[in-house]
A and B are shown apart, each in its own frame.
Chain A
Amino acid sequence: MMTTNSKADVIVVGLGWAGSLMAEELTRAGLNVVAIDRGPWIDTSTHTPPAVDPDELRWGIRKELFSPPKDNTLTFRNTLDQTAVPQRDFGIFELGGGVGGAGFHWAGMAWRFNPYDFEIRSKTIERYGIDRAEDGELQLQDWGITYDELEPFYDRWERIAGISGKAGNLNGEKIEGGNVLEGPRSRDYPTPPLKTLRSMEVFNEATERMGYHPFTIPVANISQAYVNPLGVSMGACSYCGFCLGFGCGNFSKSSPQACIFPALMRRSNFRLLTESCVTRVNKAPDGQTVTGVTYVDAHGKEHVQEGDIVCITAFQIDSTRLMLLSGIGQPYDPRDQSGVVGRNFSFQTVSGVDMWIEGEQMNPFIGAGGLGSQIDDFNADNFDHSDLDFLHGAGMLTLARDGMPISKANKLPQGSPRWGSGFKQAYKDHYQTYTTIFNQGSSMPIKHGYLDLDPNYKDKFGQPLLRLTYDYSQSDRNMAKFTMDRSIEIAKEMGAQHITPFNFADKPFTTSIIASDHVIGGTPMGADPRTSVVNPYLQSWDCHNLFICSASVFPMNSGYNPTETVGALAIRTAQAIHQQYIQNPGALVKV
Chain B
Amino acid sequence: MNRREALKSLSALIATGAVAASARASEMQGYPSNLAVADEFLPRPAMDGGKMHVLTDETALKTVTAVFDRLIPADDLGPSASEAGCIVFLDSQLADRFGQGAQLYREGPKLPGADELTQAPQFIATPRERYETGLKALEAYAQQTDGAAFADLQPDRQDEILQGMEEGSISLADDINTKAFFELMLQNVREGYFSDPIYGGNKDMVGWKLIGFPGARYDYRLYADRVGQKLDLESISLIPLD
Contacts and interface: CB of A to CB of B under 8 A. Distances in A.
Interface string A61-76: 1110000111001001
B78 interface: yes
Interface string A263-275: 0011010111111
B236 to A, nearest CB: 9
Contact of A271 (B27, B194, B199): B27
B75 A421 contact: yes
Nearest to B190: A409
B12 interface: no
A431 B26 contact: no
B120 A513 contact: yes
A187 interface: no
A55 B215 CA distance: 9
Interface in A417-472: 418-421, 423-425, 427-428, 431-432, 457-458
Contacts of B102: 68, 70
A181 interface: no
Contact of A239 (B75, B111, B196, B224): B224
Interface string B191-232: 100111001000000011011111111111101111111110
Contact of A420 (B98, B159, B195, B226): B159
A435 B124 CA distance: 36
A205 interface: no
Contacts of B78: 424
B117 A239 contact: no
Contact of B120 (A82, A363, A510): A510
A230 interface: no
Contact of A85 (B32, B103, B114): B114
Contacts of A327: none
A310 B111 CA distance: 38
A173 interface: no
B29 A197 contact: no
Interface residues of A, number: 94
B219 A238 contact: yes
B34 to A, nearest CB: 7
B210 A365 contact: no
B21 interface: yes
Contacts of A54: 215-218, 238
Given A77-B117, A363-B231, A53 B218 contact: yes
A511 interface: yes
Given A261-B31, A420-B159, A427 B231 contact: no
A425 B32 CA distance: 50
Given A55-B43, A406-B190, A420-B73, A272 B28 contact: yes
Contacts of A238: 218-221
B111 A87 contact: no
A275 B26 contact: yes
A116 B35 CA distance: 46
B147 interface: no
A421 B77 contact: yes
Interface in B68-124: 70-73, 75, 77-78, 97-98, 102-107, 110-111, 113-114, 117-120, 122-124
B217 to A, nearest CB: 7
B40 to A, nearest CB: 9
B194 A195 contact: no
Contact of B212 (A301, A409, A431): A431
Interface residues of B, number: 80
Contacts of A58: 43
Given A70-B105, A409-B194, A512 B120 contact: yes
Contacts of A240: 217-220
Given A58-B43, A238-B218, A76 B117 contact: yes
Contact of B104 (A68, A266, A363): A68
A85 B195 CA distance: 32
Contact of A57 (B166, B191, B210, B219): B191
A83 interface: yes
B98 A88 contact: no
B105 A197 contact: no
A196 interface: yes
A39 to B, nearest CB: 11
A335 interface: no
B111 A363 contact: no
A87 B196 contact: no
Given A47-B37, A55-B238, A424-B77, A197 B224 contact: yes
Nearest to A68: B103
Contacts of B27: 271-274
Contacts of B37: 45-47, 49, 51-52
19 contacts: A53-B218, A57-B196, A62-B97, A68-B103, A69-B103, A85-B110, A86-B122, A88-B105, A195-B227, A238-B218, A242-B218, A271-B29, A273-B27, A297-B26, A298-B26, A409-B194, A419-B186, A421-B77, A423-B72
Given A88-B124, A240-B220, 8 more contacts: A57-B196, A61-B195, A62-B98, A76-B117, A242-B218, A361-B230, A421-B77, A431-B211
Interface of A: 41-43, 45-58, 61-63, 68-70, 73, 76-78, 82-83, 85-91, 195-198, 201, 236, 238-242, 249-250, 261-262, 265-266, 268, 270-276, 297-299, 301, 360-363, 365-366, 403, 405-406, 409, 418-421, 423-425, 427-428, 431-432, 457-458, 507-508, 510-513
The 5 closest A-B pairs by CB, nearest first: A68-B103, A512-B120, A57-B195, A238-B219, A431-B211
